[in-house]
Structure 1
Amino acid sequence: MTRKLFHENVYLKEFTANILKIREKEGKYYLVLDQTAFYPEGGGQPHDLGWIGNCEVAYVFEENGQIYHVTHLPPEKPDHVKCRIDWNRRFDHMQQHLGQHLLSAAFEKLFDAKTVGFHLGTEYVTIDVTLEEMSPMQAEKVEYLANQFVMNNLQVKQLYPDAETLEKLPLRKPPKVKENIRIIEVDQVDYSPCGGTHPSQTGEVGLIKIRKWEKIRGITRVEFLCGNRALKDYHWKNHQINAISNLLSVKDMDVQSAVERICSENHSLKKDIRNLKEQFIDYEAAMLHGDAETLGPVKIIRKIFDQKDFAELRLLATKLVSQPNVVALLGTKDENKAQIIFSRSKDLEIPMHHLFKEISPMINGKGGGNPQIAQGGGNNLENLEKALETAYSMIAEQIS
């Protein structure tokens, strides 16, 4: 069994070890040491990274009581190898993990909410708690209590109690193992079975900040950050709030109300613009209908626009063919793409999807539709006018 130095001294950054076993598989090397400070993935906490001699450690895991260190290079020597863990990564995990204990304890003490899930990700940390709903006031109370635990700088101990002592401890959750049970005690505030790494004082956790929460399958998932992660989160948010307040010429405390006012005004303006655009399209449709070419009883509108929004083009076509005996052959183009829409009144029997299928190769187009309307686009801009002329000729031939 590898000696677990990460449980003996959580602050150990460098150590010397002997390599007991090397197993190669698919270009990777699995090293077993006689002792290690590398924490293996487990219990919701990610594995440590670092170096074993010249080998960079990419992954650490425990299997059947054996800890494996995965590297991409073989070690230069097996004995008295100098090892070093990535301390920044380890300490971040320690902050987040102990912060989770404190937050979970606060949820239980205030609202009798159990923690049933924990995930320590690269950016955020989440816990799942047995609350069907959580209000902002509840979140604020939990956050405040957890941070009081931090500011009181409580002592964190690891206990290995016997069965009799274990029965007397007010455990927040039952242990998952039956032997060598390790309990993390936070100065009589919290007792939790855990195999992870934690600072020895709660003050090292730093700020605990709940970012957001959501309801998932009858429980609440809470996303939070601790320590340096919370500080980084505050940095970018403070920067953005200050930038927005300067942009809007309001105090930082008034940013939300200012943005809400602008959003309301923007919504109203968008509605006015939509109404004006529709009025303009009504006018445009009337003009095009009045100037349309006539083939027998059928009016054919053939028109190419520059950089016209395709949604507006479709609306224009819809309004044109709302009149009887109308065919609309419309196109638009910008620097990169040509788009066409063929549409007809319901009282006509010209199959527009067949027409589009015949014409679309002229613009290298793709698309489709139904007998009444078909649309699509392609990259051959030069042939757009010719495509509409050909479509007109084909319809003229059908009508005649």
Structure 2
Amino acid sequence: MTKKLFWEDPYLSTFTSSVISVEENENWPGKFLVVLDETGFYPEGGGQPWDEGNIGDGYVSYVFIKDGVIYHVVDQDPGKGAIQKCRIDWDRRFDFMQQHLGQHILSSVFEKHHNAETVGFHLGTETVTIDLTMDSISDEELQKVELEANNQIYKNLKVQSLFPSVEGLKELPLRKQPTTDEDIRIIEIKDYDYSPCGGTHPAYTGEVGMVKVRKWEKVRGNIRIEFACGLRALKDFIWKNQQINSISALLSLKDVEAYEGTERIYRELRDLNKKYNQQSRLLLEYQVKEYHREAEEYQGISLVSLVFEDKDMKQLQTLAAALNQYPNTVALLAAKGDKAQVVFTRSKDLSLDISKLFKEVIGLIDGKGGGNPITAQGGGDNVANLQGLMDAAVIKLKHEYVK
């Protein structure tokens, strides 16, 4: 059993310890599993990530516990039996301490004011979430929870670890029951919350700084709250404040007017897009009529053969779909760009195989693609020979397909 210094003093960032064992493991090639007689490194568990840092000159990248023994994954062999100086990445540790105690406070407020149980907790390096037994929550309710949680922080309540007996445990007003019968540790936020937990936490709620809810969503019948505490909350505010100031300056509005201004521009843009699409459809109808009117007539077939400089594949497909609605029509369409794009199509009343014609000429632009007897499409890199492909397709169509 490894002695847990992080339970005795969560602020311990440097310590010395004896190396009990060192072994290699195939799960971590090139690294070593190190066991110390006592450790300040917190192992992954209870929703909280592991500590990182150094044992001697070796970097500790992962820490886990198994059967009471805490294992440190280190990139250098510290030497069995050696007494090594150890250092914990304090910024990482204190960040997790702030987030974890903030979670206790937030969960307690939800339990007290909404009778909502916390059934899930995730503490990551970027986000923190809790899952609650609630169907939904209003903005007003969420703001009240947030204010209450921060009020408990501002009271600077004492936080301490309790290791009660079985009888003593029964007398505590626990927010949730422990999941084990042994080595039970209770985190007490004085006169406010009692919760079993093996994680690390600050000594006073004031050290959490603040709790800020970022958003919520429905997840499998519950709601998931994403939040940030302490320095994370400050960093979240910094970038959002920069964004809102930039948007306000761009719109020449006050920061409190930025949303209304953005919403107004969004509505205007939506209306303009609607008008643009309507005009585009009218223009397309006109263009299609002109293309068909100017088509070459060959043995009763209207042959449209066009190469564009200003259209993409989607636009070619739209034109092709409109042209093949005309009876007795074949449309051979192409566009020049970074690549050559080609779409061949015919009206349904014709029996010639467009896919076969397409496959016979697509190699002229080092291209590929395919389709069916009515429509085929594809592209190639040899843009310079695109006109040659189109000329070859017209010749083949007239002499081999139209009889």
Report the TM range for the smaller structure's normalisation.
over 0.9
Specify the alignment match of 2:269 in structure 1. 266
With structure 1 as the length reference, what TM-score do the two structures score?
A: 0.97
Question: How far did 1:75 drift?
Answer: 1.3
Given that 2:21 and 2:80 are in contact with CA atoms closer than 8 Å, whether structure 1 keeps it comes out as no
SS at match of 1:178: coil
User: How far 1:256 moved relative to its partner?
Assistant: 0.8
* 3-state secondary structure, aligned to 2:200: coil
Residues 1:389 and 2:365 are matched in the alignment: no
The answer (yes or no) to whether the contact 2:20–2:80 under 8 Å persists in 1 is: no
Aligned to 1:44: 47
Q: Answer yes or no: is 1:23 the counterpart of 2:23.
A: yes
8 Å contact from structure 1 (residues 53, 76) kept in 2: no
- What CA distance in whole angstroms lies between the structure 1 residues aligned with 2:237 and 2:116? 27
| 2:322 is aligned with 1:319 | yes
My pick for the range that moved more, 284-293 or 192-201, is 284-293
SS at match of 2:120: strand
Aligned length: 399
Check conservation: 2:108, 2:193, Cα contact below 8 A: yes
Distance between the aligned counterparts of 2:177 and 2:360, measured in 1? Answer: 72
Instruction: Map 1:86-125; keep pairs closer than 5 Å.
Output: 86-125=89-128
Match of 1:377 in 2: 379
Deviation at 1:126, TM superposition (A): 0.6
CA distance in 1, matches of 2:312, 2:273: 16
- Could you tell me which of 336, 343, 353 is aligned with 1:351? 353
Post-superposition Cα deviations, 1:321-340, rounded to whole Å, max 9, x if no partner, equal 21111111000111x21101
Cα separation, 2, equivalents of 1:352 and 1:257: 53
Deviating beyond 3 angstroms after TM superposition, the runs of 4 or more aligned structure 1 residues are: none
Q: How far apart are the structure 1 equivalents of 2:358 and 2:136? A: 54
Q: Which amino acid aligns with 2:383?
A: L
Instruction: Indicate the residue corresponding to 2:247 in structure 1.
Output: 244
Deviation at 1:357, TM superposition (A): 2.0
Q: CA deviation at 1:367?
A: 2.4
Match of 2:294 in 1: 291
Counterpart Cα distance in 1 of 2:209 and 2:353: 70
- Cα shift at 1:76: 5.2
**Mapped contact 1:324–1:345 kept (Cα < 8 A):** yes
The SS at the match of 1:374 is strand
1:58 aligned to 53, 56, 61, which one?
61
The separation in 2 between residues aligned to 1:186 and 1:150, in whole angstroms, is 10
Cross-structure match for 1:229: 232
- DSSP 3-state at the match of 2:307: strand
**Aligned partner of 2:369 among 367, 378, 381:** 367
Task: Give yes or no for the alignment of 1:193 onto 2:196.
Answer: yes
Aligned partner (choices 301, 306, 311) of residue 309 of structure 2: 306
Contact 2:365 2:380 in 1 (8 A): yes
Q: What is the one-letter code of the residue matched to 2:398? A: A
- 1:48–1:60 contact (8 Å) kept in structure 2: yes
Is residue 334 of structure 2 the alignment partner of residue 331 of structure 1? yes
Match of 1:340 in 2: 342
Say whether the 8 Å CA contact 2:211–2:230 is kept in structure 1: yes
* SS of equivalent to 1:18: strand
2-structure distance, mates of 1:151, 1:198: 16
Mapped partners of 1:148, 1:241: distance in 2: 27
Give yes or no for contact 1:54–1:76 (8 Å, CA) kept in 2.
no
**In structure 2, how many angstroms separate the alpha carbons of the residues matched to 1:307 and 1:368?**
23
Q: Find the aligned partners of 2:317 and 2:57 in 1 and give their Cα distance.
A: 65
Deviation at 1:180, TM superposition (A): 1.4
Please state how far the C-alpha of 1:234 moved relative to its aligned partner.
0.4
Q: Give the Cα separation in 2 of the matches to 1:67 and 1:195.
A: 14
Tell me what 1:13 maps to: 13
SS at match of 1:131: coil
Structure-2 separation of matches of 1:132 and 1:363: 59
Structure 2 gaps, min length 5: none
- Alpha-carbon deviations, 1:329-382, whole Å to 9, x = none? 000111x21101111111111222222222222222232222211111121101
Aligned to 1:151: 154
Letter in 2 for 1:12: L
Aligned AA (1:188): D
Q: Which residue identity does 1:21 align to in structure 2?
A: S
Q: Is the 1:118–1:127 contact (alpha carbons within 8 Å) kept by the matching residues of 2?
A: yes
Aligned AA (2:16): T
Task: Give a deviation string over 1:246-273, Cα, whole Å, max 9, x none.
Answer: 0011111011111111111111111111
RMSD: 1.2
**Cα distance, 1:6 vs structure 2:** 0.3
Aligned mates of 1:119, 1:306 — CA distance in 2: 53
Once the two structures are superposed, the pairs formed by residues 166-185 of structure 1 within 5 Å of their partners are 166-185=169-188
CA distance in 1, matches of 2:251, 2:397: 56
SS at match of 1:329: strand
Contact 2:22/2:80 (CA < 8 Å) preserved in 1?
no
Q: Is the 8 A contact 1:29 1:70 kept in 2?
A: yes
- 1:27 deviation in Å? 2.1
**Following the alignment from structure 1 to structure 2, what is the Cα–Cα distance between the partners of residues 383 and 258?**
51
C-alpha separation between the residues in 1 aligned to 2:358 and 2:128? 53
Give how far 1:77 is off: 6.8
Q: Distance in 1 between matches of 2:152 and 2:283?
A: 64
Please give the alpha-carbon distance, in whole angstroms, between the structure 1 residues aligned to 2:347 and 2:189.
Answer: 77
